[in-house]
Chains A and B, each alone.
Chain A
Amino acid sequence: EIVLTQSPGTLSLSPGERASLSCRASQSVTSSNLAWYQQKPGQAPRLLIYGASTRATGIPDRFSGSGSGTDFTLTISRLEPEDCAVYYCQQYGSLPRTFGQGTKVEIK
């Protein structure tokens, strides 16, 4: 099983700042099969990124993904108040599908 470790646990930034969220895998993720989700309180997760760097339909271009192998990053270029949420990475290169434990983004 591939274990995904996200850091930091919590990120507290001001509107307009840049956020970098890390996701590190315990072994190489096949073909960059990594996705990112956003989850706001009381809501279901929303797909942001798949294939490590492809934005899902309707996702603003301030969200971008990068990385390969065991190290991946989600970047939010200019934080907006509505970006306050928990962000999860997920690998789908092998079974079982696994998620990271999440990074909480707070807006100051």
Chain B
Amino acid sequence: EVQLVESGGGLVQPGGSLRISCAASGFIFSNYWMSWVRQAPGKGLEWVASIEKGGYEKNYVDSVKGRFTISRDNAQSSLSLQMNSLRVDDTAIYYCAYGVWFFNYWGQGALVTVSS
């Protein structure tokens, strides 16, 4: 059974940094692209970033380019998102998702709140 479990969410001040992670199991992690998708409170879904199997190719939505970095550790079956220069409008549930085109499996999400 595929499982994706996010961790590391929390409250951070504007301009601050936070790193969230996703522990994957139930599939061969190193064989698949992985992604982050977020959802602001009461709003729709927004794709944030994707990373290819080996970790070399990465894609980002324009609003996070230069501030967020997606990475992976295939030995640990782990996906991460380093978020710097956080803004109030980055407040959202961040979902770890399996896939780069469409998203077959999703974690339960990590809530990131940016507020002073």
Task: Identify the A interface with B (CB < 8 A).
Answer: 33, 35, 37, 39, 44-47, 50, 56, 88, 90, 92, 95-102
Contacts and interface: CB of A to CB of B under 8 A. Distances in A.
Interface string B88-111: 000000010000111111111100
Given A39-B45, A97-B101, 9 more contacts: A35-B101, A37-B45, A44-B109, A50-B101, A50-B102, A92-B100, A96-B61, A99-B45, A99-B47
B44 interface: yes
A50 B105 CA distance: 13
A86 B109 CA distance: 17
B59 interface: yes
B108 to A, nearest CB: 6
26 contacts: A33-B101, A35-B101, A37-B103, A39-B45, A44-B106, A44-B109, A45-B95, A45-B103, A45-B106, A46-B106, A47-B103, A50-B101, A50-B102, A88-B44, A88-B45, A90-B102, A92-B101, A92-B102, A95-B59, A96-B62, A97-B35, A97-B50, A98-B47, A99-B45, A99-B47, A101-B44
B46 interface: yes
